[in-house]
Amino acid sequence: MPVSITIENLTKRFGDHVVLKSINLRIDPGELFFLLGPSGCGKTTLLRAVAGLNEPDEGRILADGRDIMHLPPHVRDMGMVFQSYALWPHMTLRENVAFGLEMRKIKKSEAAARVMRALEMVKLADRADSKPNELSGGQQQRVALARALVIEPQCILLDEPLSNLDAQLRLEMRTEIRRICKEAGLTAIYVTHDQKEALSIADRIAVLDEGSLLQVGTPQEIYSQPKTRFIAQFIGETTFIEGRVRKIQNGLTEIETAAGVWTAETQEPFATGEAVCLSVRPESVRLHTDRTEGSNLFQGQMHGTIYLGEVAQHLVELGGGVTLKALEVRPRLVARDDTLAETRLFVDPRDIQVLKV
């Protein structure tokens, strides 16, 4: 059965440096939960604390309500998948996957059956007698997953498991990892700094920076409703526009900026006159609009285009020193040096995030 993991007021120091600052999290049974943030934010330290590979200075870690803080790693019933595959090159896949069962003194007949089940789950049963050097990087990572699954853990911990793969293999392995975790019915905690990786396969995401937990939510919530400027910038692309609240009425907030007045739907309470920052995603900007009236209609000038085939990325100057990034799907034929072309654009008030400064 999958297990719930609860982290309470977890703090970890290395000397005078506080790596984790009173972290509180609950991970539900069977959830694929991501720890996301830049290098050095504390996400791997947090994962290793859950695994029992380092001991926090304060706080508790509970599995289904049972305190596991002082239990050694091998009795926590957790499987671990590292950045490196860490496979024994002289052993077959069968032998690599069986290694953890041998250490647990599982009977050979039972171990053999469990090894084949684990290899079947990662679709490598037909390569059981191959050596790791006969496999691709993605296949080796699947063997590492099988080795973690074979001990039948209640929770699996993944530390940037795709970082050593090339771009195409990483795309393929994203869906494979989600399929494997869901089919096995596991709680999974997954560390990455890759935003697209997290957005594409997570049930929920926790964003960390400098040892602090900034926001927890579904991929859609994290991307569409970031709570801070750091999160809006770290998760995808955006343009920030500084402004000041001019009026609040009927759930709409008017913000005065150097590029004119913007209107946004807001849930956070703001005060008239308060300094704020708008976050506008490139895909929210609708170019060449036919609208003639309403809010968030602006005249702009193209100042550079990057053509990518199915999409084009434009820079559009609005005036007042504000330049928007705009994404155009199935773009018109545009010359690479076609600058100063006029365009009208529109941004839906629902697509603008208003952030405190």
> Where do the structural domains in the chain lie, given as residue ranges?
5-231, 237-349
With a CB cutoff of 8 Å and minimum separation 6, the contacts of 124 are 93, 139, 142, 143, 146
Report the relative pairing of strands 252-257 and 204-209 from DSSP bridges: unpaired
What is the predicted pLDDT for the residue at 106? 86
Distances (CA, A) of 171 to 49, 158, 188, 244: 28, 16, 19, 41
Residue 194's pLDDT band (boundaries 50, 70, 90)?
very high
Summary mean pLDDT of the chain: 92
Contact 155, 5 (CB under 8 A): yes
Nearest to 295 by CA among 239, 332, 252, 234: 252
- pLDDT of 167 reads 83
Give the amino acid at 331: P
pLDDT at 66 over 60: yes
- Ordered alpha helix ranges (H), the chain: 43-51, 93-103, 108-121, 137-149, 167-184, 195-201, 219-224, 229-234
Q: Is 333 a residue whose pLDDT tops 80?
A: no
Q: Any idea which of 18-22, 159-163, 284-288, 329-333 has the lowest mean pLDDT? A: 329-333
Place of tokens 């285009």: 305
pLDDT band at 84 (very low <50, low <70, confident <90, very high): confident
Q: Is the predicted pLDDT of residue 337 greater than 70, yes or no?
A: no
Q: Is the pLDDT of residue 245 over 90?
A: yes
Supply the DSSP symbol for 188.
Answer: E
| Residue 12: partners with Cβ closer than 8 Å, 6 or more residues away | 18, 19, 20, 42, 45, 46, 49, 54, 56, 57
CATH 2.40.50.100 fits 237-349, yes or no: yes
Q: Hey, how many other C-beta atoms are within 10 angstroms of the C-beta on 243? A: 25
Q: Which CATH number fits domain 5-231: 3.40.50.1100, 3.40.50.720, 3.40.50.2000, 3.40.50.300?
A: 3.40.50.300
Rounded CA separation 357/122 (Å): 47
Most confident listed range (2-6, 140-144, 150-154): 2-6
Question: What is the percentage of the chain residues whose pLDDT exceeds 70?
Answer: 97
Q: How far apart are CA 326 and CA 308, in angstroms?
A: 13
- Residue 54 corresponds to which tokens in the numbers above? 């380092």
Average pLDDT on 268-290 reads 93
Q: What is the mean pLDDT of residues 34-62?
A: 96
329: confidence class by pLDDT, cuts 50, 70, 90: confident
According to DSSP, the β-strands at 352-356 and 212-217 are unpaired
Q: What letter represents residue 69's amino acid?
A: M
Spell out the residues 6+ positions from residue 103 whose beta carbon is closer than 8 angstroms to its own: none
- Is the pLDDT score of 338 beyond 80? no
Measured CA to CA, the distance from residue 201 to residue 232 in angstroms comes to 19
- In 202-328, which ranges are continuous DSSP H helix? 219-224, 229-234
Least confident of 15-19, 42-46, 212-216, 286-290: 286-290
pLDDT level of residue 335 (50, 70, 90 thresholds): low
Stretch (H or E) spanning 275: strand 275-280
Residue 265 has pLDDT above 70, yes or no: yes
pLDDT over 70 (residue 339): no
For position 103, what pLDDT does the model report?
Answer: 77
Q: Are strands 155-159 and 187-192 parallel, antiparallel or unpaired?
A: parallel
Looking at the predicted structure, is the pLDDT value of residue 214 above 80? yes
CB-CB neighbours of 349 under 10 Å: 17
What is residue 310's predicted lDDT score, i.e. its pLDDT?
86
- Residue 336 pLDDT class (50, 70, 90 cuts): low
Q: Structure pTM?
A: 0.90
